[in-house]
């Protein structure tokens, strides 16, 4: 009787030891609070040599066998894209004169259009974005049109006559307009059929913090103009201009795990060979690289370190904590800056994730999402379905 009792006590002791080891390993994942849409605040994170062993031990315990890469191969991104969401009209942010055959003119001034107005209709056709407004103007030519504007809570209708700009060879109103939501983000990866994933986090309304629903949207080429370096307490930023005349794709989804869409058939956006995608369970602390085009057209690799790799059995947006170690990138940007979201993270020759957020208190560090979750999300959304861009009108 006593022997059985002692044996039971011994077995319970062993179970308690095993459970403690598992809990201890899992408890090493950092807890960080959010601040705004794409910026995070954090205390200091220390990288320990034992982290890699602990991550491998947890994965081995859970999966039982060595994790394997995913079957789907992808083409790596790292190029900057201009993203424009269809919204409720084109916002007027400036009024100007241009040179017509009769001299300097501004149809906007003549008709009474003001800065802050939103163009919502032109000759009864709903305006979703600045590109649509510009296209309709070219179709109309120098004919008087009815333009419907939103001014505060009021809706008003005015008559306006576009004029021909002899410099740009286009019909204009003398307006500078922008889309409701537009900006720059890095392409993470593309599938052979042209479907793509970027950002790794959602685009949200700056006033409400809510994810902006997609009613449609377009992808354009863009050019990086300058970089504001990040520093403690202030996130840096990539500044650029979107070329609205060079549409290369459309947007299908804006969700918690990124922005997803597809390129126009025949668009040569990516070069190189297809790359394996690591499963989330394969990612571990250690050396890695990020791929992004910041001071040129073609993406370039920069050294980073994955200092935390959280175990995630289901999709989540903050799987990794990373640190920039590349001296060239640190000189250029100070670390991670806004506009780098979506930059591919590569480890052991495989795509493992994408850069998503920067720590405000330490711009050399930030978050990354696992590539497995972005690939899974892309498959789901495609089966079911700041810099401001300016456009002269």
Which element (helix H / strand E) includes 8?
helix 2-26
Q: Which of 326, 343, 357, 362 is catalytic?
A: 326
Q: Given 317, 341, 357, 362, which residue is catalytic?
A: 341
Catalytic: which of 106, 130, 201, 317? 201
- Rounded to whole angstroms, the Cα distance separating 316 from 367 reads 12
User: In the annotation, is 341 catalytic?
Assistant: yes
Number of H helices, E strands in the chain: 6, 24
**Angle formed at CA 269 by CA 242 and CA 297, multiple of 5 degrees:** 60
Q: Would you list the DSSP string of 184-251?
A: EEEEEEE-TTSEEEESSS--B-TTT-PBPPPS-EEEEEEEEEEEEPPBTTB--EEEEEEEEEEEEEEE
Concerning whether 317 is annotated as a catalytic residue, the answer is no
Bridge-based pairing state of the strands 350-359 and 39-41: parallel
Q: Which residues pair with 164 in a beta bridge?
A: 171
Concerning whether 303 is annotated as a catalytic residue, the answer is no
**What sign does the CA torsion over 122, 127, 133, 139 have?**
negative
Task: Write out the two tokens for 380.
Answer: 């789901």
Q: How far apart are CA 345 and CA 78, in angstroms?
A: 9
Q: Which residues are catalytic?
A: 201, 326, 341
């Amino acid at each position: 009787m006593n022997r059985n009792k002692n044996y039971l006590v011994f077995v319970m002791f062993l179970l308690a030891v095993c459970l403690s080891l598992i809990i201890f390993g899992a408890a090493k994942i950092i807890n960080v609070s959010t601040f705004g849409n794409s910026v995070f605040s954090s205390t200091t994170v220390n990288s320990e040599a034992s982290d890699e062993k602990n991550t491998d031990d947890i994965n081995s315990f859970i999966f039982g066998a060595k994790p394997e890469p995913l079957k789907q191969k992808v083409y790596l991104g790292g190029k900057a894209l201009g993203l424009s969401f269809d919204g409720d009209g084109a916002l007027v942010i400036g009024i100007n004169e241009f040179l017509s055959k009769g001299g300097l003119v501004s149809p906007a001034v003549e008709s009474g259009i003001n800065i802050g107005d939103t163009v919502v209709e032109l000759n009864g056709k709903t305006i979703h974005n600045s590109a649509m407004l510009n296209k309709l103007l070219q179709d109309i030519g120098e004919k008087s049109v009815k333009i419907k504007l939103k001014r505060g809570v009021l809706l008003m209708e005015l008559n306006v006559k576009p004029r021909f700009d002899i410099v740009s060879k286009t019909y204009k109103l003398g307006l500078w307009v922008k889309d409701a939501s537009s900006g720059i983000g890095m392409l993470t990866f593309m599938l052979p059929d042209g479907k793509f994933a970027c950002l790794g986090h959602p685009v949200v309304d700056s006033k409400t913090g809510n994810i902006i629903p997609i009613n449609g949207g377009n992808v354009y080429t863009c050019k990086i103009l300058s970089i504001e370096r990040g520093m403690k307490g202030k996130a840096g930023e990539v500044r650029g201009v979107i070329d609205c005349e060079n549409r290369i794709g459309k947007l299908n989804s804006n969700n918690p795990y990124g922005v997803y869409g597809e390129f126009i058939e025949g668009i040569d956006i990516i070069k190189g060979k297809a790359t394996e995608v690591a499963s989330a369970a394969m990612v571990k602390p250690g050396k890695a690289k990020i791929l992004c085009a910041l001071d040129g057209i073609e993406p370039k690799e920069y050294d980073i370190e994955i200092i935390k790799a959280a175990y995630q059995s289901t999709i989540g947006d903050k799987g990794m904590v990373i640190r920039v170690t590349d001296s060239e990138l640190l000189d250029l940007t100070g670390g991670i800056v806004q506009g780098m979201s979506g930059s591919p993270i590569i480890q052991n020759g495989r795509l493992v994730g994408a850069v998503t957020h920067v720590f405000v208190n330490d711009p050399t560090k930030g978050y990354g999402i696992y590539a497995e979750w972005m690939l899974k999300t892309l498959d789901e959304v495609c089966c079911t379905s700041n810099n401001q861009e300016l456009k002269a009108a």
